[in-house]
């Protein structure tokens, strides 16, 4: 299996390489791809050294699979060029997610919808992936009418520049700003850009991607996405209104039996999910599961996951694993 990693020198690209190695992905040749300024750099993978190439060279090498994390513009231009030579692309950008002809995949939820006709596959937004890993089983069993989501997002979602800004602010050093305001000792209710409806793109990703993946246009989702000075992962406070009655103990049992989800919910011993402990892990951690006494059939959840792993790299590699085991055969 010849695999290209497009954006190999970026934050998510590096994690994708780590995950490919950790999971012993069946690749026979790695093609690390990056912008011209990185061409020729050496990437170490499984003890071997590979030279970074540019996109045009990578297409000519006709990889079987290309894992993209290089931004929407690059994906819009180059994913079709890879697909044209028979490469199956899994893209982390938002470029293809809401395209009616492209599939938006969380393997535990809808990988089975993939067919040999799918050459450009979209990886959902990180905050959508962790949300739906918890919501999907609940929606299947009880039906969800409405979800109100508040996110507390890691600065790693913005990239290296944001991590550097926080470090500079810790050390009282001037430097390039990733955000319009200081992030140290702050919370910024502004992830991605504002739209005409006064929501941000990040908030509308949660609304739109959730409906597409769960296949339910009637499901009401409204979000507030906030950036906080944390690196380990994204946290989400979620209020759900269900269509049917439930018992909290049954919700906890359902989630604890869901592949990829870990319930951490023993408040009597201060046990609940936190990004500092989710960092570097692939599971989605759920806790603070409790009834919302202000409304019938309503409950609250707290969901935490490493946004660079299950939120991006691991989900992408899991899609590639599904392709190898079910489409390439
Ligand atoms: C963020 N989900 O956290 C977006 C992109 N990774 O900024």
Query: In CATH, what number is assigned to the domain containing residue 247?
Result: 3.30.360.10
Mutational pocket test of ligand 1: of 7, 70, 72, 153, the residue with most ligand atoms within 8 Å of the beta carbon: 153
Same domain (yes/no): 175, 301? yes
Does the beta carbon of 316 lie inside 6 Å of ligand 1?
no
Residue 121 has a pLDDT of 98
The answer to whether 126 is a known catalytic residue is yes
The maximal CA–CA distance of the chain, rounded, in angstroms, is: 61
Residue 174 has a pLDDT of 96
Q: Which two tokens stand for residue 6?
A: 């497009």
Residue 101 has a pLDDT of 98
Residue 279 has a pLDDT of 98
Same domain (yes/no): 152, 294? yes
Q: Which two tokens stand for residue 286?
A: 């759920």
Same domain (yes/no): 100, 139? no
Residue 329 has a pLDDT of 80
Taking only the tens of pLDDT, the chain with its 329 residues reads 999 999 999 999 999 999 999 999 999 999 999 999 999 999 999 999 999 999 999 999 999 999 999 999 999 999 999 999 999 999 999 999 999 999 999 999 999 999 999 999 999 999 999 999 999 999 999 999 999 999 999 999 999 999 999 999 999 999 999 999 999 999 999 999 999 999 999 999 999 999 999 999 999 999 999 999 999 999 999 999 999 999 999 999 999 999 999 999 999 999 999 999 999 999 999 999 999 999 999 999 999 999 999 999 999 999 999 999 999 98
Which residue's CA is minimally distant from atom 7 of ligand 1? 157
Cα(141) to centroid(ligand 1), Å:
30
Residue 141 has a pLDDT of 98
In the block, tokens 């806790």 appear at 287
Question: Which run of H or of E encompasses 290?
Answer: strand 284-291
Q: Which two tokens stand for residue 132?
A: 């739906």
Same domain (yes/no): 141, 256? yes
Cα(142) to centroid(ligand 1), Å:
30
291 marked among binding-site residues? no
Rounded distance, CA 3 to CA 21, Å?
12
Cα(250) to centroid(ligand 1), Å:
32
CB 221 within 8 A of CB 206: yes
The answer to whether 234 is a known catalytic residue is yes
Does the beta carbon of 157 lie inside 6 Å of ligand 1?
yes
Residue 60 has a pLDDT of 98
Does the beta carbon of 315 lie inside 6 Å of ligand 1?
no
Same domain (yes/no): 213, 232? yes
Does the beta carbon of 158 lie inside 6 Å of ligand 1?
yes
Same domain (yes/no): 275, 138? yes
Which residue's CA is minimally distant from atom 6 of ligand 1? 157
CB 234 within 8 A of CB 126: yes
Q: Which of 136, 139, 191, 234 is catalytic?
A: 234
Residue 139 has a pLDDT of 98
Q: What is the DSSP letter of 123?
A: P
Same domain (yes/no): 77, 208? no
Same domain (yes/no): 149, 34? no
- Atom index in ligand 1 nearest the CA of residue 157 equals 3
Which residue's CA is minimally distant from atom 4 of ligand 1? 157
Coil vs helix vs strand at 293: coil
Q: Is the dihedral of CA 63, 76, 53, 60 positive or negative?
A: positive
Residue 17 has a pLDDT of 98
274-309 burial by CB neighbour count: b if 16+ within 10 A, else e? bbeebbebbbbbbbebeeeeeeebbbebbbbbbbbb
In the block, tokens 């951690």 appear at 285
Same domain (yes/no): 224, 246? yes
The CA–CA distances, whole Å, from 77 to 67, 72, 81, 220 equal 15, 9, 7, 33
ipTM (interface pTM): 0.96
What is the total count of domains within the chain?
Answer: 2
Residue 59 structural domain: 2-124+312-327
Same domain (yes/no): 201, 111? no
Query: What's 35's domain CATH number?
Result: 3.40.50.720
In the block, tokens 């979602």 appear at 157
Same domain (yes/no): 81, 147? no
The CA–CA distances, whole Å, from 247 to 50, 131, 258, 291 equal 54, 20, 17, 9
60 marked among binding-site residues? no
Same domain (yes/no): 63, 161? no
Does the beta carbon of 191 lie inside 6 Å of ligand 1?
yes
């Amino acid at each position: 299996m010849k695999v290209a990693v497009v954006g190999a020198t970026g934050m998510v690209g590096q994690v994708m390489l780590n995950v490919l190695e950790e999971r012993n992905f069946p690749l026979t040749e790695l093609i690390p791809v990056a912008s011209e300024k990185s061409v020729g750099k050496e990437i170490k993978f499984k003890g071997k050294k590979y030279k970074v190439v540019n996109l045009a060279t990578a297409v000519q090498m006709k990889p079987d699979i290309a894992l993209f994390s290089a931004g929407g513009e690059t994906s819009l231009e180059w994913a079709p060029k890879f697909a044209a030579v028979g490469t199956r692309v899994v893209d982390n950008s938002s470029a293809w997610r809401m395209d009616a002809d492209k599939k938006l995949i969380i393997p535990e939820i809808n990988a089975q919808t993939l067919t040999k006709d799918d050459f450009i596959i979209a990886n959902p937004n990180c905050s959508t992936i962790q949300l739906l890993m918890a919501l999907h089983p609940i929606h299947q069993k009880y039906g969800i009418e409405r979800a109100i989501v508040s996110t507390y997002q890691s600065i790693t979602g913005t990239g290296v520049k944001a991590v550097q800004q926080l470090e500079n602010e810790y050390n009282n050093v001037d430097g390039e700003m990733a955000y319009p305001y200081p992030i140290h000792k702050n919370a910024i209710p502004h992830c991605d850009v504002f739209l005409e409806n006064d929501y941000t793109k990040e908030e509308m990703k949660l609304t739109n991607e959730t409906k597409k993946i769960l296949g339910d246009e009637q499901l009401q989702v409204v979000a507030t996405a906030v950036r906080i000075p944390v690196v380990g992962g994204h946290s989400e406070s979620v209020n759900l209104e269900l269509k049917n009655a439930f018992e909290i103990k049954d919700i906890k049992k359902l989630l604890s039996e869901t592949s990829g989800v870990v319930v951490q919910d023993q408040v009597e011993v201060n046990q609940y999910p936190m990004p500092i402990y989710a960092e570097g892990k692939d599971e989605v951690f759920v806790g603070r599961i409790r009834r919302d006494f202000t409304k019938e059939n309503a409950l609250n959840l707290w969901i935490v996951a490493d946004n660079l792993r299950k939120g991006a790299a691991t989900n992408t590699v899991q899609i590639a694993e599904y392709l190898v085991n079910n489409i390439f055969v």
